[in-house]
Amino acid sequence: MKKWECTVCGYIHEGDEPPAECPICGAGKEYFIEIVEKQEESLTDVTKVEGAASASSAPAQAGKPTGIAALVLKHHLHPISVHTPNGVLPLAVLFLFLAIAFGLAGFETAAFFNLVFVLLTMPVVIFTGVLEWRNRYRGVMTRIFGIKIGASIVVSSTLLAMVIWRLVDPGVASSGSRWVYFLVGVVMVGAVGLAGHMGGKLVFDTRDR
């Protein structure tokens, strides 16, 4: 049985042909290369060769990233920069719920400061995410990356809307539109969860199969 590696996400496929589409990242079969293991030598000695004729049109392997991109990838700055605001954001929405449901003004203030903190981290999250996508995943635009990019646009815009809304109307959490305001927060947390889920799929589903 032949082995094929997805050059975008690293998923290993076993079969005579590469799959039509990578089950993890959705890259087409032209992104797969055949892995040839030399049986007579140690198992760790694996040579990768260009695959079948169908794979000859595969885009050239991206060069090693340099400068800031290399630094971001080497130190895993995207997962690091994403996890802190990801933890704070649901907490902010929970605080907002407590403030609205029970009239607790202190929780509303805390929620607002948390949202501002998350907003300040967003440029780093997006910048490192784009660098990682373009270098580690070769900038391939498949469904999974489309979902991640779409989710981050939803998060950024809902977050910005909530912060601006609160600045314009400091009493929004006790106004007539308080539940609409809260709902925007729920959509935001949903989008964060989706982006995180897709990130986890890319990082962990390609391993230990």
Chain positions contacting Zn ion, by CB under 5 A: 6, 8-9, 11, 22, 24-25, 27
The distance of closest approach from Cβ of residue 16 to Zn ion in the complex, given in angstroms and rounded to an integer, is 19
Cβ-proximal residues to 121 (8 Å cutoff; 6+ apart), any chain: 81, 84, 85
Whole-angstrom distance, CA of residue 143 vs CA of residue 25: 7
Cβ-proximal residues to 164 (8 Å cutoff; 6+ apart), any chain: none
For residues 35 and 122, which CB has a smaller minimum distance to Zn ion in the complex? Answer: 35
Other CB atoms within 10 A of residue 65 CB: 17
Whole-angstrom distance, CA of residue 104 vs CA of residue 101: 8
For residues 76 and 143, which CB has a smaller minimum distance to Zn ion in the complex? Answer: 143
The distance of closest approach from Cβ of residue 204 to Zn ion in the complex, given in angstroms and rounded to an integer, is 13
Whole-angstrom distance, CA of residue 28 vs CA of residue 39: 29
For residues 11 and 95, which CB has a smaller minimum distance to Zn ion in the complex? Answer: 11
**Residue 34 bridge partners (DSSP):** 4, 49
The distance of closest approach from Cβ of residue 191 to Zn ion in the complex, given in angstroms and rounded to an integer, is 23
For residues 6 and 195, which CB has a smaller minimum distance to Zn ion in the complex? Answer: 6
The distance of closest approach from Cβ of residue 17 to Zn ion in the complex, given in angstroms and rounded to an integer, is 15
Cβ-proximal residues to 79 (8 Å cutoff; 6+ apart), any chain: 199, 203
For residues 19 and 90, which CB has a smaller minimum distance to Zn ion in the complex? Answer: 19
The distance of closest approach from Cβ of residue 2 to Zn ion in the complex, given in angstroms and rounded to an integer, is 17
Beta pairing, strands 32-37 & 3-6: antiparallel
Q: Which two tokens stand for residue 59?
A: 């885009």
